[in-house]
Amino acid sequence: MELKAAVLVSALLCLALSRGALSQRARAPIVETPAPAPAPRHVELAELLSLAGPYGKFLEYLTMTDVIKTFQSQANDTKQGITVFAPQDSAFAALNETVLSNLTTDQLRSLMLHHAMPRYYQLSAFSALAAASPVSMFAYKVNVTYAAGTIGVVSGWATAKLASSVYSTSPVAVYALNRVLLPKEIFPAAPEMAPVPAPAPAPGRGGKVMADAPGASERAASDNADAKSSSCRVVGAGSLALGYVVLLVSGLLMV
Ligand SMILES: *[C@@H]1O[C@H](CO)[C@@H](O)[C@H](O)[C@H]1NC(C)=O
Ligand SMILES: *[C@@H]1O[C@H](CO)[C@@H](O)[C@H](O)[C@H]1NC(C)=O
Ligand SMILES: *[C@@H]1O[C@H](CO)[C@@H](O)[C@H](O)[C@H]1NC(C)=O
Ligand SMILES: *[C@@H]1O[C@H](CO)[C@@H](O)[C@H](O)[C@H]1NC(C)=O
């Protein structure tokens, strides 16, 4: 009996300690201290896109074409990094549904590769990118425009606006676009748009990003993503620890 009680107490202590340690570890990367050369945090793009908001369609196409693997392996490359331009779901809804379903597998793959640059660029780099345009994506090129703090990405038939910064910590940047990019290499003629325009994004702050003064919506979005993903990790790791302790206790009791 005494042994059982002792085991239970130490098991509970162990659980409490590991929980504390886990939540501390999970919380640590959010603190924005300019620590000397911090180890870059691993970013799982699929997880980020699914937690960050209205990028489900984009993620679906990335997964369908396997381009998510190309992007993820570039995101893992901490020297170069990656800048992903994620069209919001409303951007896909604005296209006639046959525009993408008519594409061949290779064309769809190229179209997805056309939505990222094989290098990390923070927002403050975009005025230089505009000056250096056209800029290479994984496939084809775009023109970056920069006027009065509003960043545009122009590709063939699409003039997209950078709507917000979803995530930007070297080596990974993810920015939201209000349009799907439509390069002329894939679309020789202007693709048909959906008859009813998608719910228009509210004009004003949400539609613009000031490169020098990130908008509140941008911070909220990335805070939100951080909070969600770290809480998932804490819960996941916590229940793992709990499972381990339960195993440990039952193992000892059976001896
Ligand atoms: C990226 O890195 C993670 C963690 O090191 C690894 O699990 C994953 O397989 C890598 N993905 C690719 C596509 O290289
Ligand atoms: C999409 O385009 C096709 C071919 O032009 C057309 O027949 C169809 O009506 C369009 N669909 C919608 C929802 O506009
Ligand atoms: C998609 O393909 C169908 C059949 O070939 C064609 O009728 C339609 O116009 C195409 N739609 C678009 C938007 O190109
Ligand atoms: C970029 O701008 C140049 C000059 O206006 C133009 O010729 C080119 O087609 C544009 N490229 C893209 C991808 O839109």
Rounded (10°) angle between helices 45-52 and 216-254: 120
Q: Are strands 82-87 and 116-117 parallel, antiparallel or unpaired?
A: antiparallel
Nearest-atom index, ligand 2, CA of 96: 1
Residue 240 lies in a domain: no
| 190 CB near ligand 3 (under 6 Å) | no
- 99-to-14, 44, 103, 189, 200 alpha-carbon distances in Å: 56, 29, 7, 11, 20
What span, in angstroms and rounded, lies between the C-alpha atoms of 166 and 68?
Answer: 17
Residue with tokens 């409303």: 90
Q: How remote is the CA of residue 6 from the centroid of ligand 1, in Å?
A: 42
> How many folded domains does the chain comprise?
1
Ligand 1 first shell, C-beta below 6 A? 42, 69, 72-73, 76
Residue nearest to atom 8 of ligand 3 (CA): 98
The alpha helices in 114-202, defined as continuous H runs, are 126-131
Which among 96, 97, 98 is the best mutation to test ligand 3's pocket, defined by most ligand atoms within 8 Å of the CB?
98
The torsion region of residue 66 among left (phi > 0), alpha (psi -120 to 50) and beta comes to: left
- The number of the ligand 1 atom at minimal distance from the alpha carbon of 76 is 1
CA angle 69, 75, 76 (to 5 degrees): 90
Name the H helices within the chain. Answer: 2-27, 45-52, 56-64, 67-76, 89-93, 98-101, 105-113, 126-131, 216-254
The pLDDT-based confidence of 80 (bands split at 50, 70, 90) is very high
What are 18-73's pLDDT values in tens digits?
444 444 444 444 555 555 556 667 899 999 999 988 999 999 999 999 999 999 99
In a domain? residue 100: yes
pLDDT above 70 as % of the chain = 61
Residues 6+ apart with CB under 8 A from 151: 123, 126, 130, 144, 145, 161, 162, 209, 211
pLDDT value of residue 34: 54
- Nearest ligand to the CA of 155 is 4
Does residue 70 sit within a domain? yes
pLDDT of res. 237: 41
State the average pLDDT over residues 108-135: 97
pLDDT, tens digit (0-9, with 9 covering 90-100), for 245-254: 333 334 444 4
Cα–Cα dist 231/46, whole Å:
17
Considering 52-61, 201-210, 229-238, the range whose residues carry the highest mean pLDDT is: 52-61
Residue 97 in any domain: the answer is yes
Q: Give the pLDDT confidence score for residue 194 in this predicted structure.
A: 84
Residue reference for tokens 């206790």: 249
Structure tokens at 124: 């403050």
Range of the domain at 53: 45-177
pLDDT tens digits, 166-176: 999 999 999 99
Compute how many other C-beta atoms are within 10 angstroms of the C-beta atom of residue 152.
19
User: What are the φ and ψ backbone dihedral angles of 172, each rounded to 5 degrees?
Assistant: -125, 125
Give yes or no for residue 150 having a pLDDT over 70: yes
Q: Give the CATH number for residue 137.
A: 2.30.180.10
Which ligand has the shortest distance to the CA of 137? 4
d(CA 250, CA 252): 5
Does residue 88 belong to any structural domain of this protein? yes
On whether residue 110 sits in a domain, the answer given is yes
Please report whether residue 209 resides in a domain.
Answer: no
Q: Which of 143, 144, 185, 187 to mutate to test the pocket of ligand 4 (most atoms within 8 A of CB)?
A: 143
Does a structural domain hold residue 59?
A: yes
Q: How far is the C-alpha of 175 from the C-alpha of 167, rounded, in Å?
A: 7
Q: Which amino acid is at 33?
A: T
Q: CA–CA distance from 94 to each of 38, 90, 158 (Å)?
A: 41, 6, 12
Q: Pocket residues for ligand 2 (CB within 6 Å)?
A: 96, 98, 192, 194-195
